[in-house]
Chains A and B, each alone.
Chain A
Amino acid sequence: MTEGISETIIGKYPDSRGHFGPYGGIFVAETLMAPLDELRQAYERYRQDPAFLAEIDKDLQDYVGRPSPIYHAERWSSELGGAQLYLKREDLNHTGAHKVNNTIGQALLAKRMGKTRIIAETGAGQHGVATATVAARLGLECVVYMGAVDVARQEANVYRMKLLGATVVPVTSGSKTLKDALNEAMRDWVTNVDNTFYIIGTVAGPHPYPAMVRDFQTVIGREARAQMLARNGKLPDALVACVGGGSNAIGLFYPFLDDAEVTIYGVEAAGDGLDSGHHAAPLCAGRPGVLHGNRTYLMEDRDGQIIETHSVSAGLDYPGVGPEHAWLKDSGRANYVAITDAEALAAFHSLTRIEGIIPALESSHALAYAQQLAPRMSPEQSILINLSGRGDKDMHTVAAREGLKL
């Protein structure tokens, strides 16, 4: 599937203006052009700065608990009777998901840039918590925008953020969900550009965010590639990760992009099914457009209005996707598939019961696809799945689906 693109992809994208082929770029109002340029320059400088990189590495080790292990899910593999399944354990990170890899990087950058105030958007609250956490540790003011609908359905995370000292602002415009929280964070940023750093939670937004967030998340793939080689003497045959905005997925995929023998699968949320219209699968069932500062695949109606998405997992409930995934899809280097709510929930229960690991509902989408893929492969082959987060935050959602109230 790699025909048409050269052997080396790593390091080639984006171009200097943030384009991944026709995707990405900078689509914002004029006021933000200068701050985005300031951010780009700072990032380009510090990403080469050994002291900055060492500071990130130290925090990832001592504060987050990296490297996260690779776990061979032997019982699950033998039950499925095909490929060996390996899990990259991002669920073991401090705060319970991969999100913190990125917030540490961006918060340290904010500090170097002399910014004293941090803002973020959040859907499920995972990125909000990861941001509030690093802001607390660095002593930075923190404001988190969250759709009013999400504030109501993610009470526990709202409380966590408040405990950490963040101000949580419910967003009541539009559909009152993640996309509107992102709009509101952008509005805050444009108003307070002088002292404020906007920590975007995924590989979306205007350049340099998709590239910068990717770079901070590639620690997942760099570790995993070395761990798999050390363990098996060879690379995995397939990678599987869920795709909301796409940060955990690109973090895993990126260091493998030049390994043509590794097949890559990004798993979107099919909600009630791709045909139902109730889903969050822009790569599988959307089309290209411009939203939140970049060009990418979107869920939109025929007039170009962004439509509401649906997924049982709040973290996948986003109508866009990082522009690099749009490019990887078109170029054929990665495959994008979709998993329904019901399939994800079944996989959630499988992993919990068979391996004693309660996965996040987002990650359960990746698990569900791996569950379909494994029996079609041989026991000598292996699949590496990004277990992007743990399921503690999802207890209420899962219980409610089962008719229980906790």
Chain B
Amino acid sequence: MSRLESCFAQLAEQGRSALVSYITAGDPHPDHSLELMRALVRGGSDVIELGVPFSDPMADGPVIQRAVERALRHHVSLQDVLALVKRFRQQDQTTPVVLMGYLNPVEVMGFAAFASAAAAAGVDGVLTVDMPPEESEGLVPALRSQGLDPIYLLAPTSDAGRIQRICAQASGFVYYVSIKGVTGAAHLDLEGVRAKVAEIKAQTGLPVGVGFGIRDAATAAAIAGLADAVIVGSAIVSRIEQLAEDPQAMLADVENFVTSLRQAMDGSLPLKY
């Protein structure tokens, strides 16, 4: 059983939703990334989504764009991200790590070379934002041959046919983008999300995560009530940005924030952080 599978199986048994926490690798400085990953786990994250910096993050809002720019100032490459996961794995063999990024850096490394290096480093899943299933003939077989889960996005604009086709190709979990927009955008429509998640769940037994508009504990709690995973990115990254000059305070703040999300999702207060 893959790490993602056992993680979701265990949570399902406990009747809990997974907290998937995103940071951009190398933001604000490569020296802090490992500690940040561990802070996410200490705060109660079940899965870490690690952003791979790319110069042209077309699907990301300003918060994550700036995180990527901070990381790229230190020339953080895909190789560096894999090295980071390897170091994380030396201390943590259970928390699944999903890479989230764009296709070009992967293409430059080569699909087969990337897949084997990622598997060797201890990566569990790969979400390639700008690679829809129609264009996945190159990368996805390479990922599968190494036991890595290809994570796909579903959107409010995905119709029933696409949902079915995408779920048939996906494994690990599927990622429902809760809004029409970029990462970090506002105005998540809870009822709309509820209906779409139900539609997706009717098509697949895979866990369904919801992300893109979740900024606070209250929203996380609400989403936890209707999806298998709550994915939080920009809200964490903007805390990193605010305290980038004070690493100790940054680590503490990120951990506290994640704890507040976790507690709210588990129904054990407080709903406001």
Contact = CB atoms under 8 A, between A and B. Distances in A.
Contact of B157 (A27, A33, A298, A306): A33
A254 to B, nearest CB: 25
Which of B134, B152, B166 has the most C-beta atoms of chain A within 10 angstroms of its own C-beta? B134
Contacts of B66: 173
A187 interface: yes
A17 interface: yes
B65 to A, nearest CB: 5
A193 B157 contact: yes
B58 A31 contact: no
Given A27-B130, A30-B177, A31-B157, A302 B59 contact: no
Given A30-B155, A190-B180, A298-B104, A293 B55 contact: no
A133 to B, nearest CB: 27
A303 B105 contact: yes
B271 interface: no
Contacts of A33: 132, 155, 157-158, 162
B99 to A, nearest CB: 14
A192 B181 CA distance: 8
B103 interface: yes
Contacts, number: 124
B87 interface: no
Interface stretch (A235-243, A284-292, A339-347): A284-292
B180 to A, nearest CB: 6
A32 B152 CA distance: 14
A304 B107 contact: yes
B186 to A, nearest CB: 11
A29 B65 contact: no
Contacts of B58: 28-29, 183, 186-187, 292
Contacts of A29: 58-59, 129-130, 132, 153, 155, 177
A305 interface: yes
A180 B78 CA distance: 21
Given A190-B59, A304-B105, A26 B134 contact: yes
B156 A304 contact: no
Given A173-B62, A174-B69, A193-B180, A304 B109 contact: yes
A290 B181 contact: no
A30 B103 CA distance: 14
B144 interface: no
A187 B180 contact: no
B206 interface: no
Nearest to B105: A304
Interface in A285-317: 289-293, 298, 300, 302-307
A34 interface: yes
A290 B107 contact: yes
A191 interface: yes
B185 A191 contact: yes
Interface string B249-267: 0000000000000000000
Nearest to B185: A191
A25 interface: yes
Contacts of A32: 157
B72 interface: yes
Nearest to B129: A29
B245 interface: no
Contacts of A194: 180
A187 B61 contact: yes
Contact of A306 (B56, B60, B131, B166): B56
Most buried by B among A25, A173, A179, A289: A173
A32 B56 CA distance: 17
B108 interface: yes
B75 A31 contact: no
Contact of A305 (B54, B131, B181): B54
A186 B129 CA distance: 14
Given A187-B181, A290-B104, 16 more contacts: A25-B134, A29-B132, A30-B154, A30-B158, A30-B162, A31-B180, A34-B159, A173-B66, A183-B56, A289-B107, A303-B105, A304-B54, A305-B55, A305-B72, A305-B105, A307-B55
Interface of A: 17, 25-35, 173-174, 179-180, 183, 186-187, 190-194, 289-293, 298, 300, 302-307
Closest 3 CB pairs of A and B: A304-B108, A304-B105, A34-B157
